[in-house]
Amino acid sequence: MSASRLLISIIIMVSASSSSCMDGKQMTQNYSKMSAEGNISQPVLMDTNAVLCCPPIEFRNLIVIVWEIIIRGQPSCTKAYRKETNETKETNCTDERITWVSTPDQNSDLQIHPVAITHDGYYRCIMATPDGNFHRGYHLQVLVTPEVTLFQSRNRTAVCEAVAGKPAAQISWIPEGFATKHEYWGNGTVTVESTCHWGGHNASTVTCHVSHLTGNKSLYIKLNSGLRTSGSPALDLLIILYVKLSLFVVILVTTGFVFFQRINYVRKSL
């Protein structure tokens, strides 16, 4: 299985089981990628429910639980719980979509519901015990599915677009022979536009294949051999003039016919 297909499968499993939180060993093996520093790289689909776990420490051994949330462009948010006084405290936390799953004395996990594109960032749970501090960090990457379109253009070309995806999608063609450009948006999404030219190929269909971490998609169009694909400006101008002249002649003939009909009617009346 390729790396991209494996990651897509991982994302689907995370989305399907996002209402519960696995223990660290299972999370590392099945769902996420653990770095050497003990941090987890966590891809999450936008508009889903994400649950982030603390280290598996028994509640009776706890003193304090702290969640640190670091999101680009925002002040660091801290959510803390002290077991001795059964009190919670928040500092610089304004996003109501980021909450404890339950009360901290029942569940120390953090919930993001629903996940927005602005939730890209670093989330860390610190659990203080008499034996020391234990932590688990998440590098959260929010994924956005691109909107894919395909249409036939001039000069034996077709255009395939993957609009506002995160990260950028990859586009390939059958037959091969294309040029691709990227447009980057302020919210972190990317629009990819790819143009395929099949001038040297005797193809009956053109297929656009879009690869993305949220899933792959293929679109195709059947080429119309009778469709004019010439993009000559002079030829286009001649066609436009011909159509306009034809309309003018039709209007002129109709007006003349009505005019002579009126003259005949007047003559008969006299």
pLDDT at 1: 44
Q: Which helix (H) or strand (E) holds 75?
A: none
**Bond into 167 cis (ω within 30):** yes
Contact 192, 119 (CB under 8 A): no
Record the pTM: 0.69
Q: Is the pLDDT of residue 227 over 70?
A: no
Mean pLDDT value across residues 164-174: 96
pLDDT at 127: 96
R_g of the chain, CA atoms, integer Å: 31
pLDDT at 160: 96
Contact 243, 174 (CB under 8 A): no
Q: Is the pLDDT of residue 225 over 70?
A: no
Q: Is the pLDDT of residue 88 over 50?
A: yes
Is residue 101 very low, low, confident or very high in pLDDT (cuts 50, 70, 90)? very high
Q: Is the pLDDT of residue 12 over 80?
A: no
Mean pLDDT value across residues 123-140: 96
Q: Is the pLDDT of residue 31 over 90?
A: no
126-140, 196-210, 239-253 — which is least confidently predicted?
239-253
Structure tokens of 236? 């286009």
Q: Is the pLDDT of residue 26 over 60?
A: no
17-31, 33-47, 164-178, 214-228 — which is least confidently predicted?
17-31
Q: Is the pLDDT of residue 104 over 70?
A: yes
CB-based burial, 209-238: b 16+ in 10 Å, e otherwise: bbbbbbeebeeeeebeeeeeeeeeeeeeee
What DSSP designation does 169 have? -
